[in-house]
Amino acid sequence: MSRIPFEQLPADVRRAITDKTGAVHRALTAQGGMNSGIASVLETESGSVFVKGIPTDHPQVAAQHREATVAPHLPASCPRLYWHLESGGWSLLGWEVIDGRHADYRPASPDLPLVEAALTELQAVTAPADVEIKCAVDRWADYAPPGTSHYFSGNALLHTDFAPDNVLIVDDRARIVDWAWPTRGAAWIDPGSLALRLMDAGHPVEAAVAFARRFPSWRDAEPEALVSFGAATAALWHEIADGDGTPWKLGMAERAVTLGHVLRGRL
């Protein structure tokens, strides 16, 4: 959806925010991402806060609720959630501000070891048992070759959306933001998702897979699981690109096919 500046939120919604933060001195709309109707860094009487929000009648509002639910369970590389409020037809999250820039995934980027460190930290986190989050088997069942979706099962807390604008670099550290799709599943899924994004940033497929191999979860995965992942990723991106025609989506679909071929050992 299109993103509006903070000032264009209805007055009662802005009031609900200032009830939490005190007076807002300055609001700066964030770049990157597309689903949030508002994504702004606010300088307020009580300090800075990143406010992300979407109308409560928008189909993606469930993603806001998932983010709020998982927030207390996130590792240190992720921002803290200060508050969640629903007011005047808007669902809003108030996050710790990460004052950084989007990660550079290109080959030889100095950000890559930082991204590896942040994902390594996340790989050690078990999905919380007491909150409802997505299940990887369910998410990939329609895309994985028949009879293989069980490979996606596991207990790791997965992010699953490693677009570079969801990883912010600040002070030699990568911070993982945008927890719209927290998922319980096999830990190797996140290195695999990242590998496709590295390809999108210019890595040859072999280099992207070599990066995934830095993670023990990927090295220890059953080869059949990775073959299933490659096929499922290709099917998923085919669906995303199909009938849309956006060059970037078509490119991602092609890259996913290439990844799938390599994981099947057939390039």
166: contact with Mg ion by CB under 5 A: yes
Length of the chain: 267
In what order do the strands lie in the sheet containing 90-95? 24-29, 38-44, 47-55, 90-95, 81-87
Residues 129, 173: Cα–Cα separation, whole Å = 29
H or E stretch at 204: none
In the complex with Mg ion, the residue whose CB is nearer, 209 or 236, is 236
Question: Applying CB under 5 A, which part among 14-22, 62-70, 161-169, 229-237 lies near Mg ion?
Answer: 161-169
State the angle between helix axes of 247-263 and 223-241 in degrees (0 to 180), rounded to the nearest 10.
160
CA distances from 195 to 64, 186, 216 (A): 26, 16, 14
Least separation in angstroms between CB 73 and Mg ion: 19
Segment lying near Mg ion (by CB under 5 A), choices 79-87, 112-120, 164-172, 242-250: 164-172
Instruction: Check residue 33 for interaction with Mg ion (CB under 5 A).
Output: yes
Footprint of ligand ATP (CB under 6 A): 30-36, 39, 41, 50, 52, 60, 63, 79, 95-98, 165-166, 177-178, 180
Stretch that binds Mg ion, among 32-40, 59-67, 69-77, 150-158 (CB under 5 A): 32-40
Nearer to ligand ATP, 175 or 255 (CB): 175
Would you call 49 exposed, middle or buried from its count of C-beta atoms within 10 A (0-12, 13-18, 19+)? buried
By CB under 5 A, residue 123 contacts Mg ion: no
Nearer to ligand ATP by Cβ, of 102 and 261: the residue is 102
Which residues of the shown chain bind Mg ion in the complex (CB under 5 A)?
Answer: 33, 166, 178
